[in-house]
Chains A and B, each alone.
Chain A
Amino acid sequence: MIESKGHPNRLGLWGWFGGGRWGVERYLYTLHRLTGLGLLTYFLLHILVTSSRALGQASWEWAMGTVSGPLFKFGEYLVFVAFAFHAINGIRLGINELGFGVGPPIEPVYPYRTSLDFQRPLVVGVLLLAAIIVVMGTLNFWVLD
């Protein structure tokens, strides 16, 4: 059996940031990955910090005191923003993955249309929804809390 060697990823990580005339979807892809990596990093640390709850009040309050202050609060806010974007954009990706919102298959007749014409309203809706959640979080973090 001949094993496929695949296509070399020549741009590597630089391909996330540029390399062609890409639409906004490509940069949402990059942002989805960056927020995913950020959330993963936070989550791994979060497991370690919040496990202090199992050891009682003193341990919990010591751990929470260690990760308090303006810098940590701002970091936590960034995590919230990343979550809002990653979650709502993830819904869009799931919808597209299942074949919805990409338009029907059509003959390639000039002037050509792309599935991006169908996807764009979903992109706008996703960004608006994420923005609403971010505004609610911003109020909660910096104004009302």
Chain B
Amino acid sequence: MMRDQKLWTWHLAAGVVILFLLGMHMTVMHLNVTVPLKGLNPAGGHPIDWANVVARGKSAFFMVTYVVLLGAALFHGLYGFRNILFELNPASWLKKAVSMVLLLCGLALFVYGTWAAIAGFSLAKAM
């Protein structure tokens, strides 16, 4: 399998992961009244109320799924963006530069987001 085929296959696989995890995230955060999942907003009120954030934050399941979603969404989004840019037929050197910038941005955001997820989990567990 050629490199681009592999990356495209990963792009589709990441899309499936995002479909489930972001679907769950959107249901918890934005369909909290039409599809009430009481256990995931135990304090009642709005899903972004600090008490609810801490309650979800104590769950290792949420911490792990945040990191998986972060990685899948960064790859899916940045690879899709790269494809859109490449369709504009940039010069070869520019393609390499774009790939490198997107890779570094993606890695930096993944590291930062993973730190935030783990630190948030530790903070919630300590409360």
Residues of A within 8 A of B (CB): 6, 8-9, 12-13, 33, 36-37, 39-40, 43-44, 47, 50-51, 53-57, 60-61, 64, 76, 80, 83, 87, 90-91, 94, 97, 136-137, 139-141, 144-145
Known contacts A9-B89, A144-B33, then 15 further A-B pairs from the complex at CB < 8 Å, ordered by chain A residue: A8-B89, A13-B88, A36-B77, A36-B80, A43-B77, A47-B109, A51-B113, A53-B53, A53-B120, A56-B123, A60-B53, A64-B48, A87-B23, A94-B15, A136-B31
Instruction: Determine if B16 and A140 form an interchain contact, defined as CB atoms under 8 angstroms apart.
Output: no
Whether A57 and B50, one on each chain, are in contact in the complex, defined by CB atoms closer than 8 angstroms, is yes
A140–B33 CB distance below 8 A: yes
Q: How distant is B24 from chain A, measured CB to nearest CB, in Å?
A: 12
> When the two chains form their complex, are residues A60 and B81 in contact, meaning their CB atoms are under 8 A apart?
no
For B34, give its contact among A9, A13, A37, A140 (CB under 8 Å). Answer: A140
Given A40-B80, A53-B120, A54-B119, decide whether A90 and B19 contact each other with a Cβ distance below 8 A. yes
Number of residues in B with C-beta < 8 Å to the partner?
A: 39
Contact of B116 with A by CB under 8 A: yes
Contact of B115 among A54, A61, A83 (CB under 8 A): A54
What A residues does B57 contact at CB under 8 A? 53
10 of the cross-chain contacts (CB-CB < 8 Å) are A12-B88, A53-B53, A53-B120, A53-B123, A54-B120, A54-B123, A64-B48, A83-B22, A94-B15, A97-B12
